Amino acid sequence: MHPESDTTVQLSGRDGLLSLVPAVLGYHPEESAVLITMTGPNRRIGPVIRVNLPTTEMLDSPGGAATATAMMAQSFNHDATRHVDEVALIIYTDRLDQFDPQPLARVVGLVQSLLDVIIVRNSPHEVPDELTVANLAHGRRVLADREQLTQSVQYRPGVDPSPLLAQLDTVIGRDALISRIVRNQDPDDVAELLTAAQGTPDTDPRSADLCSVLAAIAYRHGDGTLSQVAIDRVLRINPGHSLAHLMLAAMNAGLTPRRSGRPPHPITTALGPRSRRLPRGSRPVAVRIIGRCACGRSDRQPI
């Protein structure tokens, strides 16, 4: 077991929310809608959910905008309603002349207590040094975009094969490995599994099971985005992989890591006492960096 450590980082208002998103997702989102969920009087961060904005073709089709709004709202409401008291909605886009975020905000606001709606362009937002250091201490860094995250779980020639492969010759061995890692609760396990995935080609019969272990442990550690891209690789190798489909079902059902134990991700956040809106740049955002507590994250792919 590893001891918890508490640090408080003071952020401010909307800029604080914008700097939090890439630290939690692990990359800078583009053409995305991101829902930040909050619970309790101190606005502790819960699931952070990202969906792609609809394509231009879909928006131009008859009824496409309404359909896209309904699908995005369904993703948000399905995952978030069980876990949160308030939400903030952030729209990342360079297509404000094509995508109107107000219908989505209205639909979300019917189900959730909507704290704020923020609309920004796709350019990256600076992550405070304290959050960067916390991520690096847990083997994570903020990447430029989701494609870089996808590439991070792919095979890289020249990376040495991992000794973990010896435990993946059978399903029983795979499940025993997951059980051992869960008991250890070591945040370095994610980095070790990621390196193992990079050293294992798709042609290795154990590669799908290895990436499924990475997906399960990443999700346990609160990293739903990494879990999703690991599952994508599993299903590319073996479309019928049972554990990968089980993980997808858990994420689609909004099952958060906290429901199966305390997830060891470094970042939890409190936005301070509730109010109906978050003034621009005025309200402090207290970010607690805790070695063994996580925000659950979901990452939805294109509509």
Average pLDDT over the chain reads 78
Proportion of the chain above pLDDT 70, given as a percent? 75
Phi-psi region of 184 (alpha: psi -120 to 50; beta: other; left: phi over 0): alpha
Whether the per-residue pLDDT at 273 is higher than 60: the answer is no
The tens digit of pLDDT for each residue in 196-219 reads: 999 999 999 999 999 999 999 988
In this prediction, residue 262 has a pLDDT band, given cuts at 50, 70 and 90, of very low
The tens digit of pLDDT for each residue in 42-56 reads: 777 777 888 899 999
Whether the per-residue pLDDT at 266 is higher than 70: the answer is no
Quick one: pLDDT at residue 82? Answer: 64
DSSP-derived secondary structure for 244-278 = HHHHHHHHHTT--TTBTB----SEEEE--S--SS-
Other CB atoms closer than 10 Å to residue 135's CB: what's the count?
21
In this prediction, residue 256 has a pLDDT band, given cuts at 50, 70 and 90, of low
How far is residue 269's CA from residue 223's CA, in Å, rounded to a whole number? Answer: 15
Write out the two tokens for 204: 């290795």
Three-state SS string across 164-183, please?
Answer: HHHHCCCHHHHHHHHHHHHH
- The full set of domains in the chain, from first to last, is 7-132+265-299 (no CATH), 143-252 (1.25.40)
Burial of 255-265, coded b for 16+ CB within 10 Å and e otherwise, reads: bbbbeeeebbb
Whether the per-residue pLDDT at 2 is higher than 80: the answer is no
Beta bridge partners of 88: 36, 116
- Dihedral of CA 238/239/242/245: which sign? positive
Contact assessment for residue 26 and residue 223, using Cβ atoms and an 8 Å cutoff: yes
Residues 6 or more apart in contact with residue 79 via CB below 8 angstroms? 47, 49, 254, 298
Whether the per-residue pLDDT at 264 is higher than 60: the answer is no
The end-to-end CA distance of the chain, in Å, is: 41
- Dihedral of CA 105/108/111/115: which sign? negative
In this prediction, residue 252 has a pLDDT band, given cuts at 50, 70 and 90, of confident
What SS3 state is found at 108?
helix
User: In terms of pLDDT, which residue wins out, 67 or 221?
Assistant: 67
Q: Tell me the pTM.
A: 0.71
Helical (H) or strand (E) element with 91: strand 86-92
Quick one: pLDDT at residue 301? Answer: 45
The tens digit of pLDDT for each residue in 112-160 reads: 888 889 999 998 888 877 777 766 666 667 887 888 889 999 999 999 9
Quick one: pLDDT at residue 201? Answer: 96
Burial classification of residue 232, based on how many CB atoms lie within 10 Å of its CB (0-12 exposed, 13-18 middle, 19 or more buried):
middle
Contact assessment for residue 111 and residue 99, using Cβ atoms and an 8 Å cutoff: no
Whether the per-residue pLDDT at 34 is higher than 60: the answer is yes
Best-predicted range by mean pLDDT among 117-126, 219-228, 292-301?
117-126
Which of 203, 193, 192, 191 minimizes the C-alpha distance to 157?
203
User: In terms of pLDDT, which residue wins out, 281 or 57?
Assistant: 57
The tens digit of pLDDT for each residue in 165-199 reads: 999 999 999 999 999 998 887 768 888 999 999 99
Mean of pLDDT values over 226-251: 92
How far is residue 237's CA from residue 249's CA, in Å, rounded to a whole number? Answer: 19
